[in-house]
Amino acid sequence: MTTSTEVSVVIPTYNEREKILSLVDQIGHALGDTALEIVVVDDDSPDGTAGAVEQRAQTDPRVRLIRRRLRGGVAIAVGPRRVPGGGAEKWPWFRRQYSDVATRVARLWLNTLLSDPMSGYFMLQRELYESVCGELNPKVYKILLEIVTRGRPASIKELPFIFKDRKQGESKLTLRISLQYFQMLWQLRSYSVPFEWREPPGLAPAAVPIAQNKSSASPAELSTRTL
């Protein structure tokens, strides 16, 4: 908004191509000679609303467009073990049990939609990261769960992968790391949505199936820092 602007009208839209230009005209007519700006905030409408507004903005300097892209696409993609086609080549029973408990507590306290909140393999839109980066705890290593809980992305895509045992080095899982994880869950409870139990895929009483049938689903065979 410039210093000469007296009134800003903000119009949120989603699939309003047929109506938006008429509304812009009505607002302009109603406010007459008022120093005006009309800001259309479009949620990435698939019907071309943003395109129509962009064309109008080229001939009407009062019109501006802000296009939000999180709603229309996948905000974050995750590689979980706990979906069909995913799993682990080797998984010692004590680490498997710890992961089961950590996952169940995350679902109980945070009601997360993630099938595998312990996953360390994910890709996300820059806008989602920037919306939460100032709040992230640098001491907590399960950053995926924190980003999803704080940012509440509009959509999550899960693609199965096979967790392969590390060939070099040692696991970073210690008692201190475990305590930090559960402390993080407790602190994030205020961001959780109302609780409704949903059994995560692949987390039946027998815990997580170890994927061995490579002919199914073509999961990515990736090694990552996953608990």
The answer to whether position 101 is within a domain reads yes
Confidence at residue 223, expressed as pLDDT on a 0 to 100 scale: 35
Q: DSSP letters along 40-97, please?
A: EEE---TTSHHHHHHHHHHH-TTEEEEE--TTTS-SEEE--SSSTT-EES---HHHHH
Domain count, the chain: 2
Tokens linked to 41: 């905030």
Range of the structural domain that residue 27 is part of: 7-67
Rg of the chain on CA atoms, in Å: 23
The answer to whether position 1 is within a domain reads no
Contact 70, 154 (CB under 8 A): yes
The answer to whether position 140 is within a domain reads yes
Question: 107 and 35 in one domain?
Answer: no
Residue reference for tokens 């009483």: 205
Last residue of a domain, one of 67, 87, 108: 67
Question: 63 and 80 in one domain?
Answer: no
pTM above 0.75, yes or no: no
Question: 101 and 40 in one domain?
Answer: no
pLDDT tens, the chain, 227 aa long: 455 888 999 998 888 999 999 999 999 999 988 899 999 998 878 889 999 999 999 999 999 999 876 544 568 889 888 888 888 877 777 878 888 888 888 888 888 878 888 888 888 888 888 888 888 876 666 788 888 888 888 788 888 888 877 676 667 677 887 888 888 888 888 776 543 434 444 433 333 343 333 333 343 433 333 34
Residue 171 Cα distances to 43, 165, 188, angstroms = 43, 10, 25
The answer to whether position 120 is within a domain reads yes
Q: In whole angstroms, what is the distance from residue 6 CA to residue 16 CA?
A: 26
Residue reference for tokens 């979906």: 83
Confidence at residue 64, expressed as pLDDT on a 0 to 100 scale: 94
